[in-house]
């Protein structure tokens, strides 16, 4: 993989446009997790140190294109960056046509998804982005799987397009873990939909010693043999899940579950075997026997790849499975990689960030990379090498 690197370029006095990933959870204007911003900061600070004219852009959420929505504004992130970069001048703008900036200064652009054409990789918008800078830096691994104007299209028209330090770090760490992992290797894959993760499960089954499935994914596997009431699952993918389960013998499916009758924050849980679940009940977490079994597996592992919670961790009574897995991973002395927005939320909730070997900023990109897919943004950078 041949990529031009930002760290190898002379960027002094140049307009450097950094596409980073500042897509963080914000509630009532308050940032709930700053993990992705913290990961993005070193690249921005390096560009400042090298006396570049620094322009930063990112998406946030999924607003309607062409419509400003306060909920999706990057203004709270701008206020956060002002505090972090307090010795430097930092500005905020929603105008991608007029930009004036001096060496060592930072300009944060408003949410790129407010711009018409962003999602469709519009050529005219890509040209506008490219005209803003002398050098384009792709540093948003979490968006590297998206073929959009700010992640891919801009590279076609930018004079120089290169990879930022965070993107390089993500690629190298994942390649190392997947190519020659220390054994035993355990993969944990949670989430609502198995349909979007068949390819990654198939890949992980080939390279991992054990795969632990949770959430709606595990429920679809359970539905092969059991009536699982109103539990979240995908009935149309049960036969495909069965083929995957029968092909590999290293996929761990829950042997008991925490269930409830109502999907709400105060719902009480009952632990049941899969064969005991009634029509008006739904699975929302692992049961104690499953947790005990998984803890033993994780304690012996040397490499852990973790993507997604295994239950509805937002509800106190259905948090135990995710909590025990998170804390067991934190106590493990092997190499652990965690990725995905919900996974980062779990890490923040249980304050184990310092105990995870590597936290990826990617969710979808993380999974696509594991699958072995070439990410569009990386393809673009290879062409510009």
Q: Is 193 a catalytic residue?
A: yes
Which residues have a Cβ under 8 Å from the Cβ of 232 and sit 6 or more positions away? 192, 215, 216, 219, 282, 283
Q: Is 176 a catalytic residue?
A: no
- Exposed, middle or buried: residue 13 (CB in 10 Å: 0-12, 13-18, 19+)? middle
Q: SS3 of 53, please?
A: strand
Phi, psi torsion values for 227, nearest 5 degrees? -85, 115
Selecting among 51, 128, 193, 240, the annotated active-site residue is 193
51 neighbors 89 (Cβ within 8 angstroms):
no
188 neighbors 310 (Cβ within 8 angstroms):
yes
CA-closest candidate to residue 225, choices 212, 209, 238: 238
CA atoms lying within 13 Å on the CB side of residue 365? 23
Which residues have a Cβ under 8 Å from the Cβ of 341 and sit 6 or more positions away? 23, 25, 363
Cα maximum dimension of the chain: 68
Question: CA 145, CA 376: separation in Å to the nearest integer?
Answer: 6
Selecting among 240, 364, 373, 379, the annotated active-site residue is 364
Selecting among 14, 15, 19, 36, the annotated active-site residue is 36
Selecting among 214, 311, 341, 362, the annotated active-site residue is 341
Q: Is 36 a catalytic residue?
A: yes
CA-closest candidate to residue 138, choices 6, 272, 284, 42: 6
Helix axis angle for 75-84 and 35-49, nearest 10°, is: 60
Instruction: List the strands of the sheet with 257-260, edge to edge.
Output: 270-272, 257-260, 282-286
Residues known to be catalytic = 36, 193, 341, 364
């Amino acid at each position: 993989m041949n990529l031009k690197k930002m760290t190898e370029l002379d960027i002094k006095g140049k307009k450097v446009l950094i596409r980073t990933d500042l897509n963080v959870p914000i509630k009532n204007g308050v940032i709930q997790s700053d993990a992705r911003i913290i990961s993005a900061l070193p690249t921005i600070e390096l560009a400042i140190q090298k006396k570049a004219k620094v322009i930063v852009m990112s998406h946030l959420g999924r607003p309607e294109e062409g419509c400003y929505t306060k909920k999706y504004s990057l203004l709270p992130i701008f206020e956060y960056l002002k505090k972090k970069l307090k010795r430097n001048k930092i500005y905020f703008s929603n105008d991608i046509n007029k930009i004036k900036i001096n060496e060592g200064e930072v300009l944060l652009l408003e949410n790129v998804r407010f711009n018409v054409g962003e999602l469709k990789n519009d050529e005219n918008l890509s040209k506008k982005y490219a005209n803003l800078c002398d050098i384009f830096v792709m540093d948003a691994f979490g968006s590297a799987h998206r073929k959009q104007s700010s992640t891919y299209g801009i590279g076609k028209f930018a004079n120089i397009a290169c990879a930022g330090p965070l993107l390089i770090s993500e690629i190298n760490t994942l390649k190392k873990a997947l190519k020659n992992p220390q054994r035993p290797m355990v993969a944990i894959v949670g989430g609502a939909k198995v349909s979007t993760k068949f390819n990654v499960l198939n890949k992980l089954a080939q390279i991992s010693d054990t795969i632990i499935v949770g959430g709606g994914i595990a429920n679809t596997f359970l539905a092969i043999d059991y009536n699982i009431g109103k539990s979240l699952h995908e009935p149309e993918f049960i036969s495909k899940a069965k083929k995957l389960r029968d092909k590999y013998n290293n996929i761990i499916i829950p042997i008991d579950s925490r269930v409830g009758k109502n999907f709400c924050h105060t719902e009480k849980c009952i632990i049941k075997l899969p064969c005991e679940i009634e029509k008006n009940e739904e699975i929302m977490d692992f049961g104690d026997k499953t947790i005990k079994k998984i803890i033993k597996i994780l304690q012996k592992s040397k490499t852990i790849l973790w993507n997604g919670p295994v239950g509805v961790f937002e509800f106190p009574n259905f948090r135990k499975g995710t909590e025990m897995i998170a804390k067991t991973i934190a106590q493990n002395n092997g190499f652990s990689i965690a990725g995905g927005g919900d996974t980062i939320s779990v890490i923040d909730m249980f304050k184990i960030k310092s105990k995870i070997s590597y936290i990826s900023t990617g969710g979808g990109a993380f999974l696509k990379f594991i699958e072995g897919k070439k990410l569009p943004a990386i393809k673009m950078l290879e062409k510009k090498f």
